[in-house]
Structure 1
Amino acid sequence: MRVSMADVAAKAGVSAQTVSRVANGSPRVDPATRVRVEKAMADLGYRMHRAARALRTGQTSTIGLVVSTLASVGNSRMLQAISEAAAARDYALAVVTVGERGIREAFARLRSQGVDGAVVLNEATELARDAEPPADLHLVVVDSPPDARFSIVQTDHAGGARAATEHLLSRGHATVHHLAGPVRSFAAAERERGWRAALADAGAVVPEPVRGDWTSASGHSAASGLADATALFVANDQMALGALRALADAGRRVPEDVAVVGFDDIVDAAEYRPPLTTVRQDFDALGRRVVAALVAAIEGGESAAESVPAALVVRASSGVA
């Protein structure tokens, strides 16, 4: 049986008009009354009818997500985090991928679905920067240089990479090699920047990085050319998995011969052989920050930039030099 506003009003001891004001976020409600009404809503399992709310407010309570691919672990983790954060705020989520017709077509598809705003995720952010975003579509971009046209939420990639590099140097290695991500990736560039800064501050030689495309296969291929490395910082855990196999194929032991650190702390990182030292991205916190920034923009707030810290998680793969 569907719970009505009248049911909530009766339980909270207020009028149906007061319940409506709380449901629609009106500031014209006493804080104590708001708490009482929200508790009654939660106790009864009340949910605002989305179509009715759209008619009253002109908003659909639906947000969009633009993504290049969901094949990568990071993107799929972000999809889950954003979906859960949106649901917690009673927003629906519409997902579109950037196909052959480009990001403008992706924006057009979202607008046809009446979304109130959209999140542009990771690899798609470069496309959003190069295109002119629709003026009537609120945007939050994940991982991007500063841009006044939209809000930005990102992991502190450079800080995490610096921590990973300093950790390897503290183990006694003269320098740290880097298996980097794609050239045009903002996250990859930031991680490379943090690695370079840590080596420069330590007065260490900065080796020429080798590069992959985020996949474990590319990590295996790229790591085959790192015969001189005793310490390796890899830009993501999937490429680190490929690098571990390449080192094993070459008869090099981890961590005895080569210490390895990844980035992301994917679910299986602790199950690698050996368990992978890595930099943890807090995908749940990112999802919450992204949705909060988008809802704020939808409700008339100004664009902003936020950075979420990344933490080093030490396991067996980084060993002792």
Structure 2
Amino acid sequence: MADVAALAGVSHQTVSRVLNAHPSVREATRDKVLAAIEELGYRRNSAARALVTSRSATLGVVTTGSALFGPTSTLIAVEEAARDQGYFVSVATLRSYDTASINQVLEHFMAQGVDGIVVIAPHDAVAAAVESFRSPVPVVLVAALEPSSADASGPSTLSVAVDQRAGARLATELLLDLGHADVVHVAGPQDWFDARERLAGWREALDAHGVRPARPRECSWSAGDGYAAGRDLAEAVAAGEGPTAVFAGNDQLALGVLRAVWERGLRAPEDVSVVGFDDVAGAAYFVPPLTTVRQPFAEVGAHAVAMVLGSLAGDTVATRRIAPELVVRSSTAPPRPTAR
């Protein structure tokens, strides 16, 4: 920094202000300092900075190691948001959800001296273990905790998530507003927060329309399970006894349902309308293009990092719920008129 200051003809303090984006630096001075930094190839010494500030400028991120779209997209979003704030990210992957494994991961971060931790916790067991861990640094869960849990959360269990329940209501209400008398739900695994919240939103939408919900079909998140559920539904539709609309717990389940409908010689949306959840890459190219609920993962990542940094700064930080977006494509339409 002393070399940069000498080349730019400014003080060491001015270089520090430029590096920390201080607003009081004049634009011409900032340009001189940045030009000197580029010419000299200056890079911050993170180890030295940590000694001075007692901060490592590193956030720990716990992820379940799942290849599923939601957790993977969330991890990418958190890393990008941390980097934008000048923070490094140390990632630990969980292969099992028992308390001992999760505590080991969190202690690993404590040994690294991370400034805070973001836990991508879509599963009950992960959130429960994290909540029981006495962390000396801020911890933010990326988890769609049920309202009762979120309200009871203290500073150590702050959470941020997409409002899964609201997304499910949007999907179900679309189908009901199109004129479908009922909507069947092919649900994800019920030990995941997201799946339970989506199921709750589906029920709320049906209740609001005076429709008594049938028993949901509980599955994993896989297209194979969606296909198995879809075969049963398609047989019922072909017999004139099945639903005309399906809300699938994620886009992979929806993909399986669409395949089963096609194999049975039925058409979507003419015979069955289908809505998914996530808006995975390629959802617009399903046959037919899939109506689905889009999750703003970049916003989730930015809020998670901002909550950790806000806690470090002593700010009052509240649990956040972020609104999803319904993306309407051609897998949904009004039901076919019945013959008279």
Q: Is the shorter-chain TM-score for this pair beyond 0.5, marking a shared fold? A: yes
Counterpart code for 1:7: V
8 A contact 1:67–1:123 mirrored in 2: no
What is aligned with 1:83?
79
What is aligned with 1:291?
305
8 A contact 1:140–1:151 mirrored in 2: yes
**Percent of aligned pairs sharing the same letter:** 40
Q: Which moved more, 1:98-107 or 1:191-200?
A: 98-107
Counterpart code for 1:120: V
8 A contact 1:150–1:303 mirrored in 2: no
What is aligned with 2:239?
none
Match of 1:281 among 266, 273, 295: 295
SS in 2 for 1:300: coil
How many residues are aligned here?
313
8 A contact 1:19–1:37 mirrored in 2: no
TM-superposed CA distance for 1:250, in Å, is 2.6
8 A contact 2:188–2:219 mirrored in 1: yes
Distance in structure 1 (CA, Å) of the matches to 2:266 and 2:86: 52
Q: Once the two structures are superposed, what CA deviation does each residue of 1:33-71 show, in whole Å capped at 9, x if it has no partner?
A: 387776666664665321111111111111111111231
What is aligned with 1:7?
4
1:259 aligns with 2:256: no
Distance in structure 2 (CA, Å) of the matches to 1:208 and 1:215: 20
TM-superposed CA distance for 1:121, in Å, is 0.7
Distance in structure 2 (CA, Å) of the matches to 1:262 and 1:61: 39
What is aligned with 1:169?
176
Q: Once the two structures are superposed, what CA deviation does each residue of 1:256-287 show, in whole Å capped at 9, x if it has no partner?
A: 11100011111111011110000110111111
Superposed, which structure 2 residues align to 1:119-138 within 5 Å? 119-124=118-123, 126-131=125-130, 132-138=132-138
8 A contact 1:8–1:37 mirrored in 2: no
Normalised TM-score (structure 1) = 0.89
Match of 1:73 among 69, 76, 84: 69
SS in 2 for 1:279: strand
Counterpart code for 2:135: A
8 A contact 1:162–1:195 mirrored in 2: yes
What is aligned with 1:205?
212
8 A contact 1:9–1:19 mirrored in 2: no
Change (3 A) 1:195 1:38: farther
Superposed, which structure 2 residues align to 1:1-321 within 5 Å? 4=1, 6-7=3-4, 11=8, 14-20=10-16, 23=19, 31-33=23-25, 44=37, 47-100=43-96, 101-124=100-123, 126-131=125-130, 132-143=132-143, 144=145, 145-146=149-150, 147-148=153-154, 149-226=156-233, 227=236, 228-321=242-335
Change (3 A) 1:110 1:222: farther
Larger radius of gyration: 2
Change (3 A) 1:219 1:266: same
Counterpart code for 1:183: Q
Distance in structure 1 (CA, Å) of the matches to 2:279 and 2:313: 34
- Where in structure 2 are there 5+ consecutive unaligned residues? 237-241, 336-340
Change (3 A) 1:135 1:76: closer
Q: CA RMSD in A?
A: 2.4
SS in 2 for 1:123: coil
SS in 2 for 1:304: coil
Normalised TM-score (structure 2) = 0.84
TM-superposed CA distance for 1:224, in Å, is 2.8
Distance in structure 2 (CA, Å) of the matches to 1:5 and 1:306: 43
Change (3 A) 1:197 1:124: closer
Counterpart code for 2:248: V
Distance in structure 1 (CA, Å) of the matches to 2:161 and 2:191: 16
TM-superposed CA distance for 1:140, in Å, is 0.7
- Where in structure 1 are there 5+ consecutive unaligned residues? none
Change (3 A) 1:91 1:38: farther
TM-superposed CA distance for 1:133, in Å, is 2.0
